[in-house]
Amino acid sequence: MTTAILTRRDAVPATGAASGPSTAWKVWVGVLAAGLAVGLGCFLYQWTHGLGVTGLSNTVTWGMYIVSFMFLVGASAGGLIVVAGSELVGTTRFKTLSRLAVVVSVAAVATAAGAILPDLGRPELAWKMIVQPNLTSPLVWDMAVLTTYLVIGGVDLYVLSRPSVSERAMKRLAIITLPIAILVHSVTAWIFGLMVARPFWNTALLAPMFISSALVSGTALVILVALAARRTAGLRFSDRMLGGLGWLMLWFLAADAFLLLAEILTTLLSGSPDHVHQLEVVLIGRLAPLFWTEVLLGVVLPFVVLSNPRWRSKPVVLAVVSVLAVVGVFFKRINILLSSEFEPLVDLAPGIPGGRPGQAFDAAQIYVPTWVEWGVLIGMAAFFLTLVTIGVRRIVLPGQSNDLAATIRDAGHHEAHA
């Protein structure tokens, strides 16, 4: 027993080795810094020149910023729902990755909150939402839930960063976290679903669809970050536990596909002209290539691969499937947003003016993100990865070392009493 304990003690990685940061670490920090600089520069450029430097128009008023917001809110909720749910049912199967899931969740929701600022056009006036809130607006409630969620995530991180974490504290946090995680994405869905003038959004299935796809993207993102942390930072977990996450993602994909099929069949069989017309934009119209890529590469292929127990236990295969699932959910957010915005609310000749100099009246505007938007998105991605990197180094890895030290200490006590 003593030999085994010494072996496990020696396996604890040393943080902050005397040899200094490696070349790979310096390159990674440089990439993150460059991404943050690009994002900040593009954001300041847009702030000074206005939303006219984006691809948005009077018809397409929400673009990639809101797509990213929808995606990140879902990714933040998905992984945390899995961890909190497993904590409540008393299983320890995914306990090793609980800290990592919370880090990813907090990083995603913080980035999502920041994604709103460039979409406002006048971000310096955002404070008015706090001092003069319109309580009938779903946007106000969404920001309230996001803020609450971010605070709870911060408390979660504080508790998990302590040298020892009690099971009672974890269960209490899970009781609070789980409903908030579900609510945060539901409120985001209701922002769209309550718009009667947009038939494709105005459906009771939108909130369940958002949550099901959030479970897919959140689980996939946790898997990808876990694999990257194991390869680059020595995070320890078993392939069996990773296969368990793959098994969960299989069922999440099935639920997401069922809700999507239910929405399509209900729309087609109901025969509602406006609703059917907007659905056709997705199925056979301008968004069809994106939609069928989402279905085939983001749903069907991952489902087929994960259905094989041998494949879903292989880290490389699971990484590829997770990337496809994340991209598929991102494409889904684009389809949901633009399917209705590509159809103007006023369908009269000669159309709606684009809203910028040189834009003529047009019955159906085309949205193409500009270099400014892509630059801001690069900055958002760098911000998210920066938060995850800090969280892994400051919370996840030291927390795992503390857990291992506690296990060794408990084993020593048992040996002493034997």
pLDDT digits 0-9 by tens, 81-94: 877 777 776 666 77
pLDDT of residue 11: 38
- CA dist 227 and 232 (Å) reads 9
Is 12 within the bounds of a domain? no
pLDDT of residue 161: 75
Is 264 within the bounds of a domain? yes
Is 152 within the bounds of a domain? yes
* 138 residue type, one letter: P
CA nearest to 187, candidates 67, 60, 340, 73: 73
pLDDT of residue 332: 93
Find the CATH number of the domain harbouring 185: 1.20.1630.10
DSSP 68-133: HHHHHHHHHHHHHHHHHHHHHTT--TTGGGHHHHHHHHHHHHHHHHHHHHHHHS-GGGTTHHHHS-
Token pair recorded at residue 99: 């800290």
pLDDT of residue 357: 57
pTM: 0.85
Domains: count for the chain = 1
Is 226 within the bounds of a domain? yes
Is 18 within the bounds of a domain? no
CA nearest to 186, candidates 104, 69, 73, 335: 73
pLDDT of residue 321: 94
Q: Domain range spanning residue 250?
A: 28-404
* 52 residue type, one letter: G
Is 343 within the bounds of a domain? yes
Quote the DSSP letter at residue 356. S
pLDDT of residue 306: 93
- CA dist 99 and 105 (Å) reads 10
pLDDT of residue 39: 96
Cβ–Cβ < 8 Å for 57, 365:
yes
DSSP 15-74: SS-TT---HHHHHHHHHHHHHHHHHHHHHHHHHHH-GGGSS--SS----HHHHHHHHHHH
Contacts of 368 (CB under 8 A, 6+ apart): 55
Is 4 within the bounds of a domain? no
- CA dist 330 and 72 (Å) reads 9
Quote the DSSP letter at residue 207. H
Is 416 within the bounds of a domain? no
Token pair recorded at residue 178: 């789980």
Alpha-carbon dihedral 234, 238, 244, 245, rounded to 10 degrees: 0
Q: Which residues of the chain have pLDDT under 70?
A: 1-20, 89-92, 163, 165, 344-365, 399-418
pLDDT of residue 88: 73
